[in-house]
Structure 1
Amino acid sequence: MSTHTPSDMSPAQAAQVANVSRWTIMRAIKSQGLQSFRDNKNQWRIKFDDLNAWLSAHHAHSAHTEQEVIPAHLVHSPDSTPKDTLELVRVKAELEAEKTLRATIEADRDQWRDLAQKLAIPQKRKRWFW
Structure 2
Amino acid sequence: MTDSTFLTPAAAAKRAGCGRTKIMKALENKALKAVRSNRNRWQIKSGDLEDWMTANIEETQSDSDADSQNDTETTVKITRLEAENEALKQRASDLEKDRDEWRAHAQKSVWKKLFG
Could you tell me the TM-score, scaled by structure 1's length?
0.43
Report which of the two structures shows the higher radius of gyration computed on alpha carbons: 2
Higher helix fraction (1 or 2): 2
Higher RCO (Cα < 8 Å, 6 or more apart): 1
| TM-score, with structure 2 as normaliser | 0.48
